[in-house]
């Protein structure tokens, strides 16, 4: 609308107004969704390629909207972050994840699984996050070592000191940390030396197509050797083909692989069935 010359201003103004209205409507919808339990977590396996064992699952939020059906996170996470709704939503994700872990704890075949949970910068920076997490662990009896928190480096942008203290406190309980979307930001390397990170997660954009010898392979192998030398584990996301799995898993010894090749994000029951079917659970 901006390019429409003299009248452009009005168009642009309209657009802005419409999008502000849309944003407010979405925020109101998210509030309802949370109250009426329309969110659910789908689980996607993270596989130890050497043993073919499912070692962990990433929890990915889904919105089962009464009218629109399943709404994907890219349609609402951004607005949830801008409006602050991500904080109560994220708390729900943490509660639900620990409820799952508490149940797995009673089932020997599933009790060793790790659940990897996305925590947005805004939620992690909120003053209550550590206390809330401790409270959830206490109420559910979940061993914090079973919880992995995925953070992106945006978490370091605003309050690096505060974030680093919060990470250390959780790490003391046994929580582990994975640095998500690694390589897509600006100064990942400086964070690595100051933060108690356990794992690097190679972004899908570097993984796709490495089987065809694209530049992404260089980034993947560099990340894997960086992780090795820092004594971190490494997981690759977005593995879709046998060729990618072979290169990353067999040739370059990436610890964990995640992607459609091993399973799409799926309802919890399906994930559990998959674990029970697979070689060593």
Contact set with ligand C2E (CB under 6 A):
44, 60-61, 72-74, 77, 86, 90, 93, 118, 120, 180-181, 204, 237-240, 259-260, 265
- Measured at the alpha carbon of residue 157, what is the angle toward residues 153 and 160, in degrees to the nearest 5? 95
Q: Which is nearer to ligand C2E, 15 or 242 (CB)?
A: 242
Neighbours of 100 (CB within 10 A): 24
Q: Return d(Cα 217, Cα 221) in angstroms, integer.
A: 6
Which of ligand C2E, Ca ion, none sits in contact with 240, Cβ below 5 to 8 A by type?
ligand C2E
Nearest distance from residue 56's CB to ligand C2E, in Å? 13
The residue with tokens 């596989």 is 47
The least distance separating Ca ion from the CB of residue 238, rounded to whole angstroms, comes to 7
Q: Which is nearer to ligand C2E, 198 or 240 (CB)?
A: 240
Distance of closest approach, residue 63 Cβ to ligand C2E, in angstroms: 10
By DSSP bridging, strand 233-236 and strand 199-202 are parallel
Q: Contact between 203 and Ca ion (CB under 5 A)?
A: yes
Tell which one of 44, 55, 97, 118 touches Ca ion (CB under 5 A). Answer: 118
> If you compute the radius of gyration of the chain from its CA atoms, what whole number of angstroms results?
20
Whether the CB-CB separation of 101 and 65 falls below 8 Å is answered with no
3-state class of 136 per DSSP?
helix
Least distance in angstroms from the C-beta of 257 to Ca ion: 13
Closest CA to 149 of 138, 133, 160: 133
Given candidates 96, 150, 153, 255, which one binds Ca ion under the rule CB under 5 A?
150
Stretch that binds Ca ion, among 16-24, 137-145, 230-238, 271-279 (CB under 5 A): 230-238
- Contact between 138 and 108 under an 8 Å Cβ cutoff? The reply is no
Other beta carbons less than 10 A from residue 73's beta carbon? 14
Among 29, 81, 153, 181, binds Ca ion (CB under 5 A): 181
Q: Which residues of this protein are in contact with Ca ion, per CB under 5 A?
A: 118, 150, 180-181, 203, 237
């Amino acid at each position: 609308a901006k390019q429409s010359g003299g009248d452009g201003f009005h168009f642009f103004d309209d657009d802005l107004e419409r999008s502000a209205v849309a944003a407010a409507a979405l925020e109101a919808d998210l509030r309802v969704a949370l109250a009426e339990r329309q969110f659910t977590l789908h689980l996607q396996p993270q596989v130890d390629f050497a043993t073919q064992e499912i070692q962990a699952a990433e929890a990915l939020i889904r919105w089962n909207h009464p009218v629109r059906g399943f709404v994907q996170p890219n349609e609402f996470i951004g607005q949830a972050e801008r409006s602050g709704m991500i904080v109560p939503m994220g708390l729900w994700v943490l509660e639900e994840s620990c409820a799952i872990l508490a149940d797995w704890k009673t089932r020997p075949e599933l009790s060793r699984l790790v659940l990897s949970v996305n925590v947005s910068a805004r939620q992690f920076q909120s003053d209550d996050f550590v206390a809330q997490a401790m409270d959830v662990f206490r109420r559910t009896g979940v061993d914090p070592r079973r919880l992995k928190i995925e953070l992106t480096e945006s978490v370091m942008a605003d309050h690096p000191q505060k974030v680093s203290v919060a990470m250390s406190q959780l790490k003391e309980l046994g929580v582990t940390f994975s640095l998500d979307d690694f390589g897509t930001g600006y100064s990942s390397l400086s964070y690595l030396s100051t933060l108690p990170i356990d794992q690097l997660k190679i972004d899908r954009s570097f993984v796709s197509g490495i089987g065809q010898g694209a530049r992404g392979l260089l980034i993947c192998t560099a990340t894997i050797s960086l992780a090795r030398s820092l004594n971190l584990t490494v997981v690759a996301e977005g593995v879709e083909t046998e060729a990618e799995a072979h290169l990353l898993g067999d040739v370059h010894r990436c610890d964990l692989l995640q992607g459609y090749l091993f399973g799409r994000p799926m309802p919890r029951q399906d994930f559990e069935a998959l674990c029970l079917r697979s070689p060593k659970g």
